[in-house]
Amino acid sequence: MFRTDAAEPAAGSGAGGHAAAAGQEYGGGGGWKHYVGSRFAFEASGGTNAPAGDKSYITWGGQFTVGGGLNFSKYVGALIEYQFMDDKLPGALIAETGANGGHAHIWSLTIDPVIDLFPKSANDVYLTGGGGFYRKVTSFTDPEEAEYCTYYYCGTETENAVVGHFSSNQGGFNIGGGFQHRVGGMYGDGKTKLFVEARYVEVFSPASVSNPNGLGTTAVAADTKVIPISLGVRF
């Protein structure tokens, strides 16, 4: 996953050699030796979302993800990830309510194992996926006048304000993979990796027929499906 491969200590039984080995080695056998700090992994990424299927009831949007976790071996690790997605709603869905605009916000907290296929290579491929808690809030907006003030004067401006919404809490899962490139280190063995990845996310949101805050009645089918595409860094 997200680690630096440390050099094997020199052969010999001297005190210096034993001290170096003790400072670098952790975990099981197999001759895998790392700095203790490389057991921990952190990531930050952002990108875009694509709707998956005609029944997703969202369109394109943006997202960001942050996470942290542990490497259990040179091939397997796990992250706890927080992700926030902001997607626009289809025009037909907005028109049913009589509003002028709308968006869906989805945030999640998931546990996601990561399988590293080529952990010793500078150019690497990995698989990931997991599941956890998802919250989805669907909001509808209308332009409204709002007052604002600067140091010199006050005035009014038009901004989109939420005039109706509905929400749900549920489980969900994600699965995907990506490509990552190791950067830094004197010999290309730095711990930092730049990555690009795509995942399929399915949120088990319930079907809803609602009249949000007095707007027109709208119907949304069960489940929300989206494909986040991300660029990020891991270390």
User: Residue ranges per domain, the chain?
Assistant: 42-234
Mean pLDDT (whole number) for 24-28: 39
Query: Could you tell me which residue, 184 or 27, shows the higher pLDDT?
Result: 184
Which segment of 4-13, 125-134, 177-186, 211-220 scores lowest on mean pLDDT?
4-13
Its pTM stands at: 0.78
Phi-psi region for residue 188, left (φ > 0), alpha (ψ -120 to 50) or beta? left
Specify the CATH number for 42-234; select among 3.40.50.280, 3.40.50.300, 3.30.750.24, 2.40.160.20.
Answer: 2.40.160.20
Q: What percent of the chain has pLDDT over 70?
A: 80
Which segment of 25-39, 149-163, 167-181 scores lowest on mean pLDDT?
25-39
* DSSP element (H, E) containing 52: none
Which segment of 40-44, 121-125, 134-138, 209-213 scores lowest on mean pLDDT?
209-213
Flag whether pLDDT at 217 surpasses 70: yes
Query: Could you tell me which residue, 143 or 49, shows the higher pLDDT?
Result: 49
Mean pLDDT (whole number) for 110-117: 96
Residues 182 and 33: their CA atoms lie apart, in Å, by 18
Residue 186's pLDDT is 65
Q: What contacts 19, CB < 8 A, 6 or more positions away?
A: none
Mean pLDDT (whole number) for 129-142: 95
Query: In a 10 Å sphere around its CB, with 0-12 CB exposed, 13-18 middle and 19+ buried, how is residue 148 labelled?
Result: exposed
> What mean pLDDT value characterizes the chain?
82
Flag whether pLDDT at 15 surpasses 60: no
